[in-house]
Amino acid sequence: MSHTLNEVLDAASVIPVLVVENVSDAAPLARALKAGGLRVLELTLRTPAALDAMKAMQDAEPELIVGMGTVRTPQQAEASRKDGAAFLVSPGLSPKLTGAMLDTGLPCLPGVATAGEAMSAIEAGFEALKFFPAEQAGGLPYLKSIAGPLPDIRFCPTGGISRERAPDYLAASNVACVGGSWIATAAQIKAGEWDAITANAAAATAMKA
């Protein structure tokens, strides 16, 4: 099932940013996150298992909206689309990647860190943006400062946002959702701490209630 960008953002609260090293962890991870109420997940292309893990998560829990992050090249954008990614997320933008992401026809959250980058991305045709690395690039004060001149741009800030800080971000007028690695860390996934991950997912879900 395909989704529009607005559908993805409306279904999201804190999007878990996931690093999955073993495909065998994908199905129990999907079940743990869904049990906590989350619907939108972002895997990252940081391991060789990422694309297979994405498919395994979708097979295990078809209602989940599973996207692929850390997309850096046109080839990665196309491979993610071909393997069924629901949306794409990138850490930044280049001219080649801009065209490739838009050509997939998928909802995209390209990474930007400045007002100028945000304006260029919207001009290129993107509808919403990832603010990355959020905490290191000015955090919530920066996002609030550009809400006045850029009131129509919605962001998904990601990068260094803790469980404690996430609700403050979600309360901002120009924030649609946030990304957080704290929901399911690589160590928790590797150790199979599914109950702890479900509890973190439930906390994240409640933040947008």
Containing domain of residue 159, as a range? Answer: 5-206
Under the phi-then-psi rule, with left for phi > 0, alpha for psi from -120 to 50, and beta for the rest, what region is 120?
Answer: alpha
Under the phi-then-psi rule, with left for phi > 0, alpha for psi from -120 to 50, and beta for the rest, what region is 77?
Answer: alpha
* Count of other CB atoms within 10 angstroms of residue 48: 10
Q: Please give the structure tokens belonging to residue 37.
A: 């109420």
- The string of pLDDT tens digits covering residues 24-62 is 999 999 999 999 999 999 999 999 999 999 999 999 999
- The string of pLDDT tens digits covering residues 7-28 is 999 999 999 999 999 999 999 9
Q: What's the CATH code of the domain at 144?
A: 3.20.20.70
Burial of 65 (0-12, 13-18, 19+ CB in 10 A): buried
Q: Please give the structure tokens belonging to residue 150.
A: 């850029």
**pTM over the 0.95 mark:** yes
Rg (CA), the chain: 16
Per the CB < 8 A criterion, the answer to whether 46 and 64 are in contact is no
Q: Which residues participate in catalysis according to the annotation?
A: 42, 130
- Count the domains in the chain: 1
Q: How far is CA 186 from CA 58, 103, 165, 190, in A?
A: 19, 31, 20, 6
